[in-house]
Amino acid sequence: MNDYRDTRLGDLLRRADEAPPLATDFYDRLWTRIESERVGRRGSRTRRTSRFAGLTRTRRWSLALAAAAAAVAALVLFGFPGGDVAEKIPGGSAAQDPAAPVFRGPEPASAAEVADIVQKALRDAATIVADLYYCDYKAMHLDRPKADDNRTRLVVCADGSYRATPLERLVPAKWGDRTIDVPGIVGSDRDGDASYDATTGVRRSWGAGFDRLMVAPPGAYENENEVPLERVEAAVFVDAQEETGCDPTTGSVESMNYPVPDIGPTQFSGVVYALRASGDAALRTTTFDGRPAWIVSCPVAPQPEAPGDEAPWPNGRDGDDSLIITIDKATGLPVRSQQIAGDKVHADWCLMNLQVDVRVPEDTFTLDFPSGLYRDEPASTSTTITRIDNGFRPVTVDQVESAIGRAALVPTHVPSGYELAQVAVKQRGASPDDDAFGTTLALRYGRGFDSLAVKTQVLDPAVASRRSFIARDPFIDDSWPGSTDARTPIELTSGVFAGGRGFVVVGPLTTPHLWGVKDGMVLMVGGDASAAQLVAVANSIEEWEP
């Protein structure tokens, strides 16, 4: 394995290889402790501490995976590489369902025409409910458990709210004298359940595992340093996370064409841009999940190779890269995207059992952590809730100046149909990840599932003075597919950022976006709009006047 290492940084870090010396009584205390624990263990029923001391959470999940896989083998999908997802998914079928909705309208003839249909469908939709199936090339082509496939019940709303619940059945796990239901584990290191409520800016997730649930299959531990599960006392561990102060524009520029399993509601539109970039590419008619569909192959720019299998797309491929996109005729929504890297299927996601604008329970986007798991737990149980404040606070536009000490910078022009949906501000240093920046104002405009982000951020003077800063795409990591999409230099000509320089990026693997810098301030505009529309938005930024 030859993963990328930042050797220069590593050299520097080794220079700081110093730590306080051990206390003089360290070894005495250590042996006292060892003796004490050894005596204690003789009278203890549980040996988890000793047996699992070297286990990471991933490994524990893997143990549970092995157990779960044995029990639910009939449900788990194996032999995936290169195959048809639909045929591998319970309920999925390549045969047409006679009761499936029927497309009514003029038949599109090209990728560009079907792009219009998809875009309209996304603008009109309020809620999408589907079973998301995702598999990446690491699970397909590398020596990885097929259980790294992901299957999730997805509920997403146009306002950005979502709920993602693993499709695995709930299984009972013993918890002291109680029995609780936890998601049966099929993937390693899976989150159990995740939600984001756009109205509160709260994102929550939790995952649960267990060190013993079922008898593991023989040979499951040939290469590991632990004992078979049946010899271990049951212990449930829970990892829960709550994020508050979320950036309302998160995901606005991430595209579904980037092969990530956690697809958010603002990412569907990426398909539109891939289709548009394919112009007059021909459509084929197909059937997916029993429903009539169109399928089109969209070429994409060759993606960069990188060391090891961390490369966004597989290395050593032979042939062109492309996306094969399937669109459900009845709803006009994308239901499948296969990333083809040369001669290999690189990643594959699809939506099964698609429903649009169905009623969902009011509490769908409010995830309650399982009660009673976090207090007075046995010492052998690993539980934690991680709370993260991302620093954003919802405000009205009128409140921005008093909140961050500078006037709100807002566009006086946005593309037709967009409405201001959310406004949030973040103070300098409100989260640890971006203390190179000053205050941030984030505006999210919505148009159905279309989203448009407008962010202005004060730069730290040291950062702003770096010539290289302007060349760095603030929206997407440069290791992502899409980072190689063509960027066009721009100079903004009017508004507060007149004279500012930056870049606009439009390509099949990312949502259109631009950024520009002027006088220690960076402007980011991204979302479902053309390049010209984005530039028009950027050129219309003015100080807010009530």
What residues from 15 to 74 belong to the interface with other proteins (CB under 8 A)?
A: 15-20, 22-23, 26-27, 29-31, 33-34, 37-38, 41, 49-51, 53-60
Q: How far is the CB of 379 from other proteins (least distance, A)?
A: 11
Angle between helix 111-124 and 270-277 (nearest 10): 160
Q: How far is the CB of 68 from other proteins (least distance, A)?
A: 18
Per-residue contact flags (x/-) with other proteins for residues 461 to 480, judged by CB under 8 A:
xxx-xx-x--xx----xxx-
- Rounded (5°) CA angle 511-513-519: 160
Instruction: Please identify which residue in 90, 91, 308, 316 interacts with other proteins, judged by CB under 8 A.
Output: 308
| Residue 180 identity (one-letter amino acid) | I
Q: Which is nearer to other proteins, 22 or 498 (CB)?
A: 22
Q: How far is CA 243 from CA 203, 209, 265, 436, in A?
A: 5, 21, 18, 21
Interatomic CA distance for residues 364 and 175, integer angstroms: 26
Q: How far is CA 170 from CA 165, 181, 363, 533, in A?
A: 11, 6, 19, 47
Q: Which is nearer to other proteins, 505 or 529 (CB)?
A: 505
Q: Does 284 bind other proteins (CB under 8 A)?
A: no
Instruction: Please identify which residue in 9, 74, 99, 102 interacts with other proteins, judged by CB under 8 A.
Output: 9
Q: Which is nearer to other proteins, 382 or 530 (CB)?
A: 382
Q: Does 436 bind other proteins (CB under 8 A)?
A: yes
Q: Which is nearer to other proteins, 360 or 385 (CB)?
A: 385
Q: How many CA atoms lie within 13 A of 541 on its CB side?
A: 29
Per-residue contact flags (x/-) with other proteins for residues 340 to 379, judged by CB under 8 A:
----------------------------------------
Instruction: Please identify which residue in 199, 200, 285, 384 interacts with other proteins, judged by CB under 8 A.
Output: 384
Does residue 426 contact residue 440 with C-beta atoms inside 8 Å? Answer: yes
Instruction: Please identify which residue in 375, 432, 545, 546 interacts with other proteins, judged by CB under 8 A.
Output: 432
Q: Does 138 bind other proteins (CB under 8 A)?
A: yes
Q: How far is the CB of 512 from other proteins (least distance, A)?
A: 19
Instruction: Please identify which residue in 97, 181, 305, 310 interacts with other proteins, judged by CB under 8 A.
Output: 310
Longest dimension (CA), the chain: 83
Residues 237-276 that bind other proteins (CB under 8 A): 260
Sign of CA dihedral 425, 428, 429, 435: positive
Q: Which is nearer to other proteins, 56 or 199 (CB)?
A: 56
Q: How far is CA 285 from CA 9, 103, 110, 139, 323, in A?
A: 52, 12, 12, 29, 16
Interatomic CA distance for residues 248 and 368, integer angstroms: 21
Q: How far is the CB of 105 from other proteins (least distance, A)?
A: 39
Instruction: Please identify which residue in 87, 181, 224, 398 interacts with other proteins, judged by CB under 8 A.
Output: 224
Q: How far is the CB of 175 from other proteins (least distance, A)?
A: 19
Residues 479-538 that bind other proteins (CB under 8 A): 479
- Kindly state the number of chain residues that form the binding site for other proteins, as judged by CB under 8 A: 72
* CB atoms near residue 98 (< 10 Å): 6
User: What six digits make up the tokens of 130?
Assistant: 């589907």
Instruction: Please identify which residue in 189, 243, 401, 542 interacts with other proteins, judged by CB under 8 A.
Output: 189
Q: How far is the CB of 222 from other proteins (least distance, A)?
A: 9
Q: Does 178 bind other proteins (CB under 8 A)?
A: no
Give 19-32 as a 3 state SS string: CCCCCCCHHHHHHH
Sign of CA dihedral 517, 523, 525, 526: positive
User: Shortest CA distance to 336 belongs to which of 76, 163, 84?
Assistant: 84
Residue 530's φ and ψ, nearest 5 degrees, are -80, 170
Interatomic CA distance for residues 275 and 120, integer angstroms: 14
Residues 324-343 that bind other proteins (CB under 8 A): none
Q: Which is nearer to other proteins, 120 or 472 (CB)?
A: 472
Instruction: Please identify which residue in 244, 286, 380, 382 interacts with other proteins, judged by CB under 8 A.
Output: 382
Residues 90-119 that bind other proteins (CB under 8 A): none
Q: Which is nearer to other proteins, 133 or 449 (CB)?
A: 133
Interatomic CA distance for residues 326 and 338, integer angstroms: 9
Q: Which is nearer to other proteins, 41 or 169 (CB)?
A: 41
Q: How far is the CB of 218 from other proteins (least distance, A)?
A: 17
Interatomic CA distance for residues 166 and 190, integer angstroms: 8
Q: How far is the CB of 83 from other proteins (least distance, A)?
A: 23
